[in-house]
Structure 1
Amino acid sequence: MYNGLLHAHSGFRWLVLIALVVAIVISLAGWIKRSEWTKSGKISGLVLTILMDIQFLIGLVLYLFLSPMTKAAFNDFGAAMKNDTLRFYVVEHILIMVIALALVHIGKSRTKKDLPGWKKHRSSFIFYGISLLVILMAIPWDRAMF
């Protein structure tokens, strides 16, 4: 079960990244053109949010219940903080990804406010863009499975 979810989590990352890039491109185009908030903006934000939530839930199950790394780290947290790999997975990866998830949700929620369309595009572009940068920092590229 652990390996299956780990592969799902690793592979699902690509769907999240694609959805994030699509949402950023749509937001940037809408902001530059000062266009109205359209269905494509709504759908791209919704799909992105759903995919991020699913990815987070898979990661949370791995983190809390299945990962041998987190189990080992929680047995001796002091020693785990001295190990770069354990510290990355037990503290840094999840903290940074929670921040990225919050940024996506903030960006999505700001599009629901009563603002001109181009301001919604600008907000979503900023929050989704920062989220993308944060995610790229926290992906364990050296352990990429796909």
Structure 2
Amino acid sequence: MYPGLLHAHNGFRWLVLIFLVFAVFLAISGWASKRSWNKADNLVGLILVIFMDIQFLLGLVLYAFVSPITKAAFADFGAAMKNSDLRFYLVEHFLMMFIALILVHIGRRKSKKKAVAWKKYKPATIFYSIALLLILAAIPWDRALF
């Protein structure tokens, strides 16, 4: 079960990254050109939120129930905090990804609430970009399965 969930989590990461980069690109270009918000912008944001939620749920199942890494870390929390690899998965990866998830949700919500169509791009640009940076920093690239 663990290898299958880990592969799904690692593979799904690419869908999240592709849609997040695309959403940031659309937001920046829309904001710079003062383009009117359209259905494609809304759809990309919606798909991004859905993919982020699925990815987070996969990660949460791994984190809380299946991963031998987090099980070992929870068994001796003090020792885990002294080990940089265990601390990364136990605290840093989880926390940064959770914050990125919240930022994507905030960016989508704030962009939907703006009355002027082209002003919807500003919060999307800001929140999606910060989320992208957090995700890129939190991915364990040394263990990433391509």
Range class of TM-score, shorter chain: over 0.9
* Letter of the structure 2 residue corresponding to residue 59 of structure 1: G
Alpha-carbon separation, structure 2, partners of 1:33 and 1:44: 18
Corresponding residue of 1:31: 31
CA RMSD of aligned residues (A): 0.7
Deviations 1:80-133 (A, max 9, x none): 000110000001000000000000000000122142122111110111001000
SS of aligned partner of 1:37:
coil
SS of aligned partner of 1:74:
helix
TM-score (norm 1): 0.98
**Maintained 8 Å contact 1:26/1:40:** no
Corresponding residue of 1:92: 92
Corresponding residue of 1:126: 126
**Maintained 8 Å contact 1:80/1:86:** yes
Structure 2 unaligned runs (5+)?
none
**Maintained 8 Å contact 2:111/2:122:** no
Corresponding residue of 2:110: 110
- Residues 25-64 of structure 1 aligned to structure 2 (within 5 Å): 25-64=25-64
* Letter of the structure 1 residue corresponding to residue 28 of structure 2: L
Alpha-carbon separation, structure 1, partners of 2:11 and 2:105: 22
* Letter of the structure 1 residue corresponding to residue 29 of structure 2: A
**Maintained 8 Å contact 2:20/2:128:** yes
**Maintained 8 Å contact 1:37/1:117:** yes
Structure 1 unaligned runs (5+)?
none
SS of aligned partner of 2:142:
helix
Deviations 1:18-47 (A, max 9, x none): 000111111111111101111111001000
* Letter of the structure 2 residue corresponding to residue 64 of structure 1: A
- The percent identity for this pair of structures is 63
SS of aligned partner of 1:54:
helix
Corresponding residue of 2:18: 18
TM-score (norm 2): 0.98
Alpha-carbon separation, structure 2, partners of 1:51 and 1:3: 20
